[in-house]
Amino acid sequence: MCSIYTHGYLKTIKTGLLALGISVLSVTMFAQKSSKIPLPSQLEQAYPRIYITQSEKKDLQKTIKKEAWAQEVLKGIHDRIDHYVEQHKTDPEWMVSRLQMYWKTKSTNVYVNGINYSHADGEAPVPTVRFVGSRDYTTPYGTPKLEDIKPYMDDPRGLWLPNRTKEGNPFEWAEISKTGRVIYSINERIIELGRDAAFTYWLEHDPAYAQFAYDIFHTYMEGMSYRSEPIDVLNGHIQTLVGFTNFQVIHENVLIDIAELYDFLHPYIEANHAKHIAMYDTTIKRWIDQIIKNGVPQNNWNLHQAKIILKAAMVLQDNKNYDDNKGREYYIDYILNVTSTRQWSLNKFMDYGYDKSNGVWAECPGYSLGVTKDLTHFMEDFNNTFDHNILPYMPVMETAVKMLPQYVFPNGQTVAFGDSNYAALSTDAFDDMIRIAQKTGDQEMEEDFTGLYKLFSKNSKDGKVRQSKANISSFFASKPLELNPKFKKANLADYVTQTFYAPNVSWHVQRMGTGKDGMMVSLNGSLGNHMHANGINMELYGKGFVQGGDPGKGASYLQPIYLEYYSQFPAHNTVMVDGVSSYTEMLSYHAFELKGEYPKSEQKTGYYKDITYSDVYFLEPETQSDQTRLVSIVKTGETTGYYIDVFRSKKQRGGDKFHDYFYHNLGQTMRIMDTTGNPLPLQPSDEMGFAGGHLYALDYMWDKQSKKTAADYQAEWKIDMPEGEDDVFMNLWMKGTEGREVFSIKSPPNKAFKGNSGLPYEVDKAPYLTLAARQHGPAWEQPFVSVYEPFTSAQGKSIKRVSSFEDENGNSEFVGLHITHKSGREDVVFSSANHKNVKYKDIETDATYTLLGTETNDDWVLFIGNGKQVKANRYTISSTEYGNVVLKQEQGKLMLHNEVPIDISFNNNITTFEEGSLRVINVN
């Protein structure tokens, strides 16, 4: 998506605050009292004005003469356009005829049938601009080279395009509705060439470039002036989304290209074609009005629309020059401060989407990261264009940018639930904040974001970074970023915390460490935009990879496989009830409730670092089922640790048929075994499928094999690395129970990994290997109890044995685990769905989660999650309220972290401790 780059480095540094004659302090106070963002006090009257002004041209020419990077940018532009400009001198119709227009029919009215093009009618006196083929851009047809496009193509058979699904990609006639965005892509490419030529003309004053740019611009704009708003023959939701060239107004980015072209070419047009200026301006205003009229305000659309509107508005004249008084100031104020049905003011948009306490935007990570980046681009562009800093009026933005590292797994990839992908954290938002700080002279802010930039940029050496692309924007705001060498790389621990909870997207993270031996689990519900129907979904990290990864969106979210599989329960690491659990994906309103966690979200000090847990509750709406998931990370050494996962599920009104626990993991192979390592004798099964009234998603899965067993079992996934590298594994031990059936399944590929991310096989083409555990009847007293251990071939597993035990008092809503490690460490784990007192040997507890870990040297740790009364190792801990407590003995010292006041009884003496951070204590 295009950004609105501007010319800040060429201008004399002066902030918009000074231009308005307001001090920084008074602006800050004003911003706190009012949500209205003031307009710039002075607007450039001459052209160009978006990137640069005429008075700054000499400075740019000096920069090009002096700077090698600028010379390379200009050379790249010439290399791209010179051939076509030269050709235009002798064949002025060649490029223009490649525009996708209604050349013969000259249609004015476009009709769509839902998400697909239908037909066009009406007749203008000139050729008009053709509408795109489909909202769904998935198509077998490719965008041809300009040289392969038939001139003046307007044929009832459709478009002459290469079919990418056939050998040799032969050209054939394609029905318009089957061509995705090919029409738009061709036109945008040609308009971009015209824009580059307009800039080159302005810079070098060769009339051949002006003529080339003008012929493209005039043909397109005159044709657009006769086009009307597309009509949906179904009179459906699409009618509220369409623009003049696209099914979605957020994809009208060609208007940005048009505005830039018009800006640089304006003096030439004034001198040679002034009679058309009124038509051009009217067409741009109609186009902006269409973008305002349609769209979706409550998500990233609002911002994408604003970016397009701002750029287009910049080339308009002032309000007073138009009869309707709607000019440049009107539209700038509109996107900043006016709220209409489908275009909200900037502050209403941010108030709706951002959690002000932690800076999380209310969409899945892929879109949330994009919104924050686009907002920082918007602020920086606005500041550079108008010398007007609007950051003080958008105070959540610093918090929003600083929280971005919380999205990151220990290997540097971002979490990817919902419509997201696994990728490195972009530094674009940090870059923008540095530029704003440099321009406004805010050294403290510059130091903060320079540190973050250096932390996440692979090219963050002091001095110039980022090679400039051969785009005109590279001369302006995209010029190489200058980092202040005195500002050091940030400490990651200052920006990520062991737990992090964002209630506005129902997302909770637990993490320990970084790199290959780090650990992290991410849980999400379905709250916000671009979310999936996934219940309590889990992403799991191990030994350098997000092994238990989310599958991505698979294809366009308008494709059946997205709607029926990738966005549904069986594609995720979750529990589905009766084969039917589902609800509305995309904009979803199904959050989990965080019942407990340790440590507290965003806590940075004062806690025990080797154990975390979260306990969440979810109401599965389709079957009215109660679901809880308790997940814990237990670190047992520098390179060792494991995850505990206890998932309970039951229908509120009974009648449970079955509950299915799905877990998908990376790897070329998966083995399902008994606890001694012998393969389970699985048999082919067709029980898990659509037949019987279940989800379509189950029929996308194949090679299903199963076995009913009440015994414990385990599964092992292997990422078979190249020769000379350690193979990577995930081992899953699962408690057996009556009514359990275990499935081995191949699922559709995981599409969330881009470029395979260091994986040794084509993840996006290989089956995603899946274990499913079916509990016939409710899965509350027979929950899914799992221990996950990632390991490598070099180190092997650290866990020697896992077994389970029952409560000696007979609590049926309890599970206990005994985990023996090869090091000799012994862990005893208690998980209870109620607060009844449970007992095992000399341990008693009423907590939701309890762990007693004992080392061979008699060091031990007692972890209590959400409990009041616990007895272990001759200590009795009691409180009047439920809370988290850690008591640890290490080298003869006793340490305590208690989030609630407690009494500790030892040797018949009671010592009272007020709430406190981890510290050394004494008990009598």
Q: Could you write out the DSSP letters of every residue in 835-887?
A: ---EEETTEEE-SSEEEEEE-TTS-EEEEEEEEEEEEETTEEEEEEEEEEEEE
Q: What is the pLDDT at residue 695?
A: 97
Query: Is the Cβ–Cβ distance between 435 and 481 less than 8 Å?
Result: yes
Which of 180, 264, 177, 191 has its CA nearest to residue 223?
191
How many angstroms separate the first and last alpha carbons of the chain?
A: 66
- Cα gap 365→363, rounded to integer Å: 6
What's the predicted TM-score (pTM) here? 0.91
Residues comprising the chain, all counted: 924
- Cα gap 250→231, rounded to integer Å: 18
Query: Is the Cβ–Cβ distance between 707 and 682 less than 8 Å?
Result: yes
Tokens of 46: 């001459």
SS3 content of the chain, % helix, strand, coil (to 5): 30, 30, 40
For residue 42, the tally of other CB atoms under 10 A from its CB is 12
- Cα gap 461→468, rounded to integer Å: 16
The residue to which tokens 């005039």 are assigned:
218
Q: What is the pLDDT at residue 17?
A: 31
The DSSP result for 325-382, as a single string, is --SHHHHHHHHHH---SS---HHHHHHHHB-TTT--BSB-HHHHHHHHHHHHHHHHHH
Q: What is the pLDDT at residue 464?
A: 52
Q: What is the pLDDT at residue 459?
A: 55
DSSP strand pairing (641-651 vs 902-906) = unpaired
Report the chain (924 residues): mean pLDDT per 10 consecutive residues: 32 32 36 69 92 94 94 96 98 98 98 97 98 94 97 97 96 97 97 98 98 98 98 96 96 97 98 98 98 93 94 97 97 96 94 96 96 94 89 96 98 96 96 95 97 86 62 81 95 97 98 96 97 98 98 87 96 98 96 98 97 98 98 97 98 98 98 97 96 96 98 98 97 98 98 87 96 98 98 97 97 98 98 97 97 96 98 97 97 96 95 97 88
Query: Is the Cβ–Cβ distance between 860 and 886 less than 8 Å?
Result: no
For residue 156, the tally of other CB atoms under 10 A from its CB is 7
DSSP 8-state code for residue 137? -
Which of 507, 535, 538, 504 has its CA nearest to residue 521?
538
Which of 216, 254, 247 has its CA nearest to residue 110?
247
Q: Provide the edge-to-edge strand list for the sheet that holds 507-512.
A: 499-502, 507-512, 519-524, 537-542, 545-548
